[in-house]
Amino acid sequence: MHNAKNVAANIFETRPLYLQVHGRLLGFLTDATWKPGQMIPNEIELARDFGVSVGTMRKALQTLTDQGLLVRRQGRGTFVAQAQALDAAPLDNVRNARDEPLQWQLQSSQLDAAVATDHELSALELSEGERVFRLQRVLRNSATTSTMLEHCVLPEKRFAGLDSDSEAHKLPVGQLGRRYGILVGPGAEHVEMHIADTREAALLDVTRGDALLKLVRIARSLDGVPVEFRVAFCNLRMGSTYLNRIR
Amino acid sequence: MHNAKNVAANIFETRPLYLQVHGRLLGFLTDATWKPGQMIPNEIELARDFGVSVGTMRKALQTLTDQGLLVRRQGRGTFVAQAQALDAAPLDNVRNARDEPLQWQLQSSQLDAAVATDHELSALELSEGERVFRLQRVLRNSATTSTMLEHCVLPEKRFAGLDSDSEAHKLPVGQLGRRYGILVGPGAEHVEMHIADTREAALLDVTRGDALLKLVRIARSLDGVPVEFRVAFCNLRMGSTYLNRIR
DNA sequence: AAGTGGTCTAGACCACGGA
DNA sequence: CCGTGGTCTAGACCACTTA
């Protein structure tokens, strides 16, 4: 029978067994051996395959579940999570006066592909000359009359064929991520103040010189590679707020 | 020997054992049987006292650790966390261009006690006629020249004697929480836009009509009772941003 | 050396969901 | 009914801290 010490005693790998297992399982997710929505083998079988006890395998699986990468259902099985929405923020974090997420209607949308600018290259950690898709859309919530101008930059190699998909530019970015099988890891969004210029004022139905919330985010896939660079300008109306969950 | 089934079979309490234990331990924290910084009994002893296995006790302790309420150190013991800073946000979430928290200098500070207004009553869930402390301070970060106007409202019953402590109004609110043994649970902060009026402009060194970030927060203790109602106005300068951690 | 939390195992039983 | 994940136990050994 396998023994924990036989594995852990490897001088090249002294991390706890469950972390080593976690890393191997994570590999199955990042290289798409296991695809979103798919059911994976049960914990007994996995434990046997990896030569660890069920308890250790459970701990590795639980860690992945805590990270939102797996979903476990008693009586059913363990499933790969659907790709986390690329736009969990900022869209979900804009709330109405009752602290409910707003329902956004797509007002306009525009997609083009081009060689990345220096700024985009550095944000997305691309090499000189790599191409990106730029997706610009205006969203509106009729209940509060809040509006948002989104400017997303996506690496072409991750979203190959995006421009030939006629539906693509109409979809919320979150569904795009799902369609391209991209799993997004934890990250951060930075909030700034911004004064609307003439163009933004026209698109967002505000007056030039009005104050907007500027939301900047670089989303990274599980392995830390940037998959989306987004800047959004938001006009909060009628008690709408931007939510920051603490802890 | 105690047996899990003997306990869990109680028809009035069918939750998992480790959750029941978690609740009991949480009680020791909320009623200050265990005080911040104090070392608590080791897991073997606790397991024996509660009549559960060490594994179950570990799971309960781990849950409290995940919540930030206990700190466990291999070889040393398990300790009650210092009261979480009441001002973990917004102060820690304001970052400079290198994404480091700003160092704030207290510019001015003013403390008074009064009967709560209706608005304060409802925010802090107090009864008619209850009294509150109001703590207003202006903070400044010299490196970025960012400024913040903080307006904190604290229930008098939770901070008894605050006004007779001559040092109190100079301390950051986080240290106040620690001094009064208040453990803060998870929460949320809402970000809004705000246009500076004359008074705010003078205090924050901006021009009347300038846009400010308005940060609104109700902090609650572990049992969900509000312990702080804060509204802060922030002037972000020289690349400073307000950080929202995702997931 | 003694005491602490951290890891790992092996196996039992329970609760849930679907055939 | 069977297979799944969820809970619980008992005990071993390891790694770290302090005296």
Full residue range of the structural domain in which residue B152 is found = 89-243
Separation between Cα atoms, residue B9 and residue B227, nearest integer Å:
37
Q: Is residue A51 part of a domain?
A: yes
Whether CB of A18 is under 7 Å from strand C: the answer is yes
Separation between Cα atoms, residue A169 and residue A204, nearest integer Å:
19
- The pLDDT assigned to A12 comes to 64
- The pLDDT assigned to B9 comes to 37
pLDDT digits over A120-166, tens only? 999 999 999 999 999 999 999 999 999 999 999 999 999 998 888 87
Write the CA distances from B84 to B137, B177, B210, integer angstroms: 20, 8, 33
Q: Which residues make beta-bridge pairs with B218?
A: B229
Whether CB of A59 is under 7 Å from strand C: the answer is yes
Spell out, as residue ranges, where chain B has pLDDT lower than 70: 1-12
Whether CB of B56 is under 7 Å from strand D: the answer is yes
Residues A81 and A148 in one domain: no
- The pLDDT assigned to A9 comes to 36
The pTM of this model reads 0.88
Minimum-distance CB partner of A189 among B195, B216, B244: B244
Residues A199 and A222 in one domain: yes
Q: Which residues make beta-bridge pairs with B153?
A: B134, B229
Q: Is residue B33 part of a domain?
A: yes
The count of structural domains within chain A is 2
| Residue B150's CATH number | 3.40.1410.10
Residues A55 and A108 in one domain: no
The distance (Å) linking the CA of A73 with the C1' of D3 is: 12
Residues B60 and B39 in one domain: yes
Angle of helix B43-50 relative to helix B17-30, nearest 10 degrees, comes to 110
Whether CB of A65 is under 7 Å from strand C: the answer is no
Which chain A residues are Cβ-neighbours of B186 within 8 angstroms?
245-247
Residues B94 and B212 in one domain: yes
Label residue A111 exposed, middle or buried (CB < 10 Å: 0-12, 13-18, 19+). Answer: middle
Q: Is residue A2 part of a domain?
A: no
Q: Is residue A1 part of a domain?
A: no
| Beta-sheet pairing, A131-141 with A105-115 | antiparallel
Whether CB of B71 is under 7 Å from strand D: the answer is no
- The pLDDT assigned to A43 comes to 97
Spell out, as residue ranges, where chain A has pLDDT lower than 70: 1-12
Q: Is residue B29 part of a domain?
A: yes
Pinpoint the alpha helices (H) of A38-147: 43-50, 54-66, 88-91, 118-124
Question: Could you say which of B61, B85, B109 is where a domain stops?
Answer: B85
| Residue B41's CATH number | 1.10.10.10
Q: Which residues contact A9 (CB under 8 A, 6 or more apart)?
A: none
Contact B241 A188 (CB under 8 A): no
- The pLDDT assigned to B3 comes to 39
User: B236 CB near a chain A CB, below 8 Å?
Assistant: yes
User: A93 CB near a chain B CB, below 8 Å?
Assistant: yes
Query: Can you tell me which residue has the tokens 């392995």?
Result: A223
Question: Could you say which of B40, B67, B85 is where a domain stops?
Answer: B85
Minimum-distance CB partner of A245 among B188, B241, B242: B188
Q: Is residue B200 part of a domain?
A: yes
Residues B69 and B191 in one domain: no
- Nearest residue on chain A to B234, judged by CA atoms? A193
Query: Can you tell me which residue has the tokens 């205006």?
Result: A138
- Nearest residue on chain B to A240, judged by CA atoms? B192
Size of interface A-B (CB pairs under 8 A): 88
Q: Is residue B2 part of a domain?
A: no
Q: Are the CB atoms for B183 and B83 separated by under 8 Å?
A: yes
Interface of B with A in 5-24 (CB under 8 A): none
Separation between Cα atoms, residue B167 and residue B144, nearest integer Å:
27
